[in-house]
Structure 1
Amino acid sequence: MTKPKGRGRIARAIAIGGGLAALGAVGALGAGATLARRAVEPDRLVDTPVEVRGLVQEGDRTLIVLRGEQADLPGQYSFVFDGPDGHARLGPVLDERSDDVIREVLSVERGDLRVGARGRITGWWFTEPEQLGLRVERISYPTELGPAEAWIIHPRRARKRRWAVHVHGRGAPPEETLRGIAPLARAGITSLVISYRNDPGAPIGAHRRYGIGIAESRDVDAAIAEALHRGAERVTLFGWSMGGTASLIAATGGAHTRVIDGLILDSPAVDWAALLRYHASLFHAPRSVANIGIRLLDTGLIRGGEPDGIDFTRLTPDAFAERLQIPVLIHASTGDTFVPCAGSERLAELRPDVVQLRLQTRGEHVRLWNVAPEPWERVTEEFARAIPHPPWRGA
């Protein structure tokens, strides 16, 4: 799709502005622009909504008292504190007292965990790939913008020429994906965990902004090329959140669709227009504000990671369903308040022949593993083992 430039963009801006009179044009346009920028700008600040209120030694275990946002999520989590310097693993909630939540400290990988420390609850469980107990190679791979860092994680018993590329979500580090390595390693699959544009250790993208999966899919293509160069014959894509969007795009229209044998997605962003409308609704903004933001990104009036604007028609369940040719496993949760599962449900409804939807009732965004690791890993491993060899590649 060719995006309008010059006069075309100005005309579209006038058309957008002209439709805002009844809403209060300046306010609605400003709100739409803010929503659009938030969708494509990498996060610059690390929020610290959780505070350590107490540390209690109880026999041979340490209990931590937390207060703040998502401190009470069900399951086991990492607590990242003191910026990126501190990391502790916390067990499930043991007790809640007023606004305080009590958990067990399972381990402290780095930093000084102390009363008064501030941080956030995350789904990441591993801080380094070596913690998986598998052989790791740290490499860089070439992308269209320059070299990007990556890890190759080798299973103990590799299945010949079977690889997977793991793609993290928007604003998250590659460590996010390490929860998905073990079930694939047990299936004998070699894993390539990548960074991509705008990550530390990777090139800066266009305008220093995200392409909400479209631009990033070309880095996924480059990672697949690296796996092929190193001996892969078939590649499974494993995407998280916006990494799921990038994986879907690479699998349905990328440069290496013929070697992609399957998709595994956790909390994927499947319908971006609906997602922006949902986030606008959280602030009680009318639907028209989200539509303005979408049009501003689509036309390139608000710059994203695609120089000519972001084509939202490519980022819908219907568009993906039309082109899917390989099996897909989706982990999604009705408890996801950041990327609602409706897009995943719609994709599964449209393509029940290839999409397996594992829908759970508890689990925040990309934190499904943390609530119930065993079933998450079991289903993932079973799916990975059962992916057939792409028929066009021969037996």
Structure 2
Amino acid sequence: MAERGRRIAGALALGAVTAATAAAVAGGAIAVGTALARLAVTPARRPAEGVVVERVEHRDGAVAVRLRGEDAELPGRYSFLFDEGAGHARLGDVIEARAGAVVRPVVAVDRGELRPGARGRITGWWYTDPAELGLDCETIVYPTELGDARAWLVRPARAKKRRWAVHVHGRGALPEEAIRGAAPLARAGITSLIISYRNDPGAPAGQHGRYGVGLSESRDVDAAVAEALRRGAERVTLVGWSMGGTACLVSAARGAHAKSIDGVILDSPAVDWRSLLRHQAGGRRMPMPVADIGIRLLDRGLVRAGEPGGIPFESLTPEAFAHELMVPVLIHASTADTFVPSGPAERLAELRPDLVQLRLRDAGEHVKLWNVDPERWERVTEAFARALPRPAWRG
């Protein structure tokens, strides 16, 4: 009996340890899932500056810069934002690569001083102001549900009567990212609004100061469309980058002014947020169950985001958008995109071949397809915009 008692006591003790261990593991998974969820919807205080200038050189009367770091080696031409955004330079394609560093020609330095030791980041922007397109432009203010936001109004040389576009940048970027899309639309005679939205510097903060992964931001797109309509637009084309693409899809499918939208142009769009968050968790070597915990916490509103009541991820899938879309869509996407995989965009094109034109490339990082081949990107975009029919319900 004494021996049996000891065995029972040992089993109970082992069970208690096992339960405690399981509880600790579960608690750790929830903590990590919570952190992942917050990261997905919280604007970064300061973008990472993972590129360093090693040397500034003079070659055959031209200036070049030797760089090392994240995305420094990407093919194409790019903006280099340095000194926490105070500096901006335009860099040409790689002319030399050696020992993990690359040399790029300096096309222009728009602000700041390129110098050894300067730190920054490679972006796809290229332009810093739409005036650099050689078009008439001004800064305006438009009202949103949270307060006033700023936008650039860009007028084409020969405007088509009552055709406008709204351009929407991606998560963590600035309106400068979207300037690239205004030039081909201007050649098509379309007036553009390049907008800021909630949580941008100088714009109203979103709920809890967080993103709504395109859902909340779509209401700022709706507000910009309303501004275009007030200024005489009859139909509006939406142009979105990354999370801005999500916002444009939501606005075109479900927005307050969906009947005024004649088409959507997307670059590297986030079309399926569940799979995107799982992909990004994998990039951080987090187990999928942990990613799913974060998704459920956001979905149920247990981790606060910019959308009241939580984020309904089931409404942010290729299947949901395919069911709701009513206008033509052009998607620029790349199989080389490591941040937002192209698979969901490909799925949307498969589901709606009648409406979705997919330009799928095998080169070009996230929102950097223009930079690899700007001439072709703009030709396809302009041709698509020119061919958009008047929405059938407008007669």
1:24 Cα deviation (Å)?
1.3
Distance 2:285 2:109 in 1: 40
Amino acid aligned to 2:60: G
Distance (Å, rounded) in 2 between the aligned partners of 1:143 and 1:198: 12
Q: How far apart in 1 are the matches of 2:177 and 2:284?
A: 28
Partner letter of residue 275 of structure 1?
A: L
Equivalent residue, structure 2, for 1:338: 339
What secondary structure is seen at the aligned counterpart in 1 of 2:72? coil
Structure 2 unmatched ranges of 5 or more: 1-18
- Distance across 2 between alignment mates of 1:92 and 1:23: 51
**Given the two structures, how large is their TM-score scaled by the length of structure 2?**
0.94
How far apart, CA to CA, are the structure 2 residues paired with 1:200 and 1:103?
Answer: 30
TM-aligned CA deviation for residue 93 of structure 1: 0.4
* Counterpart amino acid of residue 181 in structure 2: G
Q: CA deviation at 1:307?
A: 2.1
1:141-220 alignment to 2 at 5 Å? 141-220=142-221
Partner residue, 1:74: 75
Structure-to-structure mapping, 1:78-157, within 5 angstroms: 78-157=79-158
Separation in 1, partners of 2:232, 2:354 = 30
**1:21 CA drift (Å):** 4.2
**Aligned residue for 1:347?**
348
CA deviation string 1:91-112 (max 9, x = no partner): 0000111111011001000001
Q: Deviations over 1:189-211 (max 9, x none)?
A: 00001100011121111000000
Q: Which residue in 2 is equivalent to 1:318?
A: 319
Paired residue secondary structure (1:33): helix
Return the alpha-carbon distance in structure 1 between the equivalents of residues 66 and 280 of structure 2: 31
Q: Which runs of 4+ in 1 moved over 2 A?
A: 20-23
- Counterpart of 2:286 in structure 1 is 285
Counterpart-to-counterpart distance in 2, 1:33 and 1:24? 14
What's the secondary structure of 2:92's corresponding residue?
strand
Paired letter, 1:341:
S
Aligned position for 1:231 = 232
Q: 1:359 and 2:365 equivalent?
A: no
1:301 aligns with 2:306: no
Amino acid at match of 1:42: P
Cα distance, 1:63 vs structure 2: 1.3
| Matched residue type, 2:87 | G
String of CA shifts for 1:257-282, please: whole Å, max 9, x gaps: 11100000000000000001111111
Amino acid aligned to 2:313: F
Shift of 1:46: 2.3
Cα distance in 1 between the residues matched to 2:161 and 2:225 = 16
Aligned amino acid, residue 240 of structure 2: G
Q: Distance in 2 between matches of 1:102 and 1:232?
A: 46
The CA RMSD over aligned residues, in Å, is 1.2
| TM-score, with structure 1 as normaliser | 0.94
Alpha-carbon shift at residue 22 of structure 1 (Å): 8.1
Give the whole-Å Cα distance in 1 for the aligned partners of 2:122 and 2:284.
23
Structure 1 residue 165 displacement after superposition: 0.3
How many angstroms apart in 1 are the aligned matches of 2:284 and 2:339?
13
Amino acid at match of 1:228: L
The structure that has the greater radius of gyration is 2
Offset, 1:59: 2.2
CA deviation string 1:80-131 (max 9, x = no partner): 0111110000000001111110110010000011111111111010111111
Aligned length: 376
Residue type matched to 1:310 in 2? I
